[in-house]
Amino acid sequence: MDNKILGLHHITAIADNAKRNLDFYTKVLGLRLVKKTVNFDDPGTYHFYFGNEQGNPGTILTFFPWEGIGKGKQGAGMATHIGYAVPEGSLIFWKNRLKEHNVPFLEDEIFGEKLISFTDPDGLQLQFIEPLAKDNRSVWTTADINHENALKGFHNITLSLREADPTLKVLTDILGYSVQGQENERYRLTTDSISTANIVDIVADRNLPFGRNAAGTNHHVAFRVKDDNILMEYREKVLAAGLDITPKINRDYFFSLYFREPGGVLFEIATDNPGFTVDEPLESLGTALKLPKQYESHRSQIEASLPKID
């Protein structure tokens, strides 16, 4: 199994206001701020990583909070709904908590799994799902959110597309997923290489308008591999399928490749190594501003330019 795609690694989205984004995901949803750094290509913008205590792959939601970017538009060619696994019986807790924070939600069931759907302050679409399968992942708890209710990590990601077949081919032929079910125009794909964060849903609608990336939309979806060697094997697979893909990029906490699948969604393949404790210990993850090496000499200017979040 080591040379397979190991489900989802992380998902990266766009926000508008950095402090509002930080407060919602740590104070309302109870995630840990695992890493506070900056955008590699825009060091005047934060890059937040939220996850469980260790920042394990499959739990990491990251944000580029571009101040004043304005609201994006969900649509075709995008990853549109982020599904989190929650403990069995905890949806009651989450419904009450969302009500307390004036967050509207809808109740639903997909492929036999109960869920609630809502949006974050920027309009990013989130779903809290009680999985049918057991999820034993460790969680990050807070004073308000205990082990019985805390988010486990990703359950699935939903891709909204005009047609399913070209993307299905990438997921099955290159990334090793298989179709497990279909409900109307929704396809569910899974990988048997891991038991959590292993689901991709595709919703196909030929009439769906294309989306526009800005606040409240997903920027890309990252799939997980064990190490650099396996990463480069997948680069050859993507090239052999006739798709363009980047060279290997060092993101400090993982190594990455990026390619756009035929439906328009930006895919990343990312490694487990070296992980988030490479530059700060586990107990203090996310407490200090960490800068990519090329920006360290400009720390004072960067810190002065970043929005105030404390």
- What ranges do the domains of the chain cover? 8-305
Q: How far apart are CA 225 and CA 146, in angstroms?
A: 30
Q: Give tens-digit pLDDT for 203-261.
A: 999 999 999 999 999 999 999 999 999 999 999 999 999 999 999 999 999 999 999 99
Q: What does the chain look like in DSSP terms, one character per residue? A: -TTS--SEEEEEEEES-HHHHHHIIIIIS--EEEEEEEETTEEEEEEEEEESTT--TTSEEEEEE-TT--B-B--BTEEEEEEEE--TT-HHHHHHHHHHTT---EEEEETTEEEEEEE-TT--EEEEE--SS---------SS--TTTS--EEEEEEEEES-SHHHHHIIIIIT--EEEEEETTEEEEE-TT-SSS-EEEEEE-TTPPB-B-SBTSEEEEEEEESSHHHHHHHHHHHHHTT---PPPEE-SSEEEEEEE-TTSPEEEEEEEEE-GGGSS-GGGTTSSB---GGGGGGHHHHHHHSPP--
Considering the domain 8-305 in this protein, what is its CATH number? 3.10.180.10
- pLDDT tens for the chain, 310 residues long, are 579 999 999 999 999 999 999 999 999 999 999 999 999 999 999 999 999 999 999 999 999 999 999 999 999 999 999 999 999 999 999 999 999 999 999 999 999 999 999 999 999 999 999 999 999 999 999 999 999 999 999 999 999 999 999 999 999 999 999 999 999 999 999 999 999 999 999 999 999 999 999 999 999 999 999 999 999 999 999 999 999 999 999 999 999 999 999 999 999 999 999 999 999 999 999 999 999 999 999 999 999 999 999 8
Cis peptide bond prior to 281, omega within 30° of 0: no
Burial string for 71-110 (b: 16+ CB within 10 Å, else e) reads: ebebbbbbbbbbbbbbbeebbebbbebbeeeebebeeeeb
Integer Rg of the chain from CA: 18
Q: Which residues are registered as beta bridge partners of 117? A: 106, 127
